[in-house]
Amino acid sequence: MNIVKPKIPQSLEPGNFQQIFNEEDPHLSQLDIHGSVFEYEAVDRVHLSNMKISNSSFQHTQFKQIDITDVHFENCDFSNANLSEASIHRVTFKNCKLMGVDFSDGRFGDVLYDQSLLTLCNFGDSKMEKVLFKESNLKNADFFHCKLKKIDYSLSDIDGVSFDTTKLKGIDISTAQFESLVVSLEDLKGCIVSEWQAIAFARMMGLDVR
């Protein structure tokens, strides 16, 4: 899948995420932020654009209705943060910790999660198009009632993931690893699976495969 990469200027000013409090509107742009700690804060309707953020921590922070466009995150920790109702487009999360993040009611386009931890994430009621989960851990994540288009779980662990009332037609899980999933047979129609996964689904249906 061809994900459109974040559009980030070659020259960025060094910055700190605490600068968000200096702005009349919570908007940061064209900054290179490294090593910021912004934990247990609450800032709604933040807008981040055209920037890089690395080695920073946003644990337990409330970022409801955040708008993130053309941003590269690397080695960042968002554990248990609230990013519900977010708009996330042309964004990369590389080697990030996103355990238990609330991404519900979000809008995602051209997003790459690369070698990231997304266990127990909640993506419920989100619309996602052109999202690649690459070599990431999504154990027990929740994709309840999502609208998915051009989604690839490449070499990722999706064991225990819930796709309850989410149609998987055209969604590629053929290289993903799992022992069990929460998904109905009706919603599974048209999903791209490997041969061994087809056998696993047959066994989950109670068929005696020999």
Residue 1 lies in a domain: no
Tell me which residue range forms the domain holding 95. 13-204
pLDDT at 78: 98
Element (H, E) at 188: helix 185-188
pLDDT at 11: 95
Average pLDDT on 142-159 reads 97
- Express each pLDDT in 81-115 by its tens digit: 999 999 999 999 999 999 999 999 999 999 999 99
Residue 2 lies in a domain: no
User: What gap in Å lies between CA 90 and CA 51, rounded to an integer?
Assistant: 11
% of the chain at pLDDT higher than 90 = 86
Residue 34 lies in a domain: yes
Angle formed at CA 173 by CA 171 and CA 176, multiple of 5 degrees: 160
pLDDT at 173: 96
How would you class 206 by CB atoms within 10 Å of its CB: exposed for 0-12, middle for 13-18, buried for 19 or more? Answer: exposed
Residue 7 lies in a domain: no
pLDDT at 199: 84
What does the mean pLDDT of the chain come to? 95
The CATH number linked to 163 is 2.160.20.80
User: Does the pLDDT of residue 208 top 80, yes or no?
Assistant: no
User: Does the pLDDT of residue 207 top 80, yes or no?
Assistant: no
pLDDT at 88: 98
Average pLDDT on 35-56 reads 97
Residue 8 lies in a domain: no
pLDDT at 66: 98
User: What gap in Å lies between CA 127 and CA 41, rounded to an integer?
Assistant: 26
Q: Which two tokens stand for residue 201?
A: 């689904």
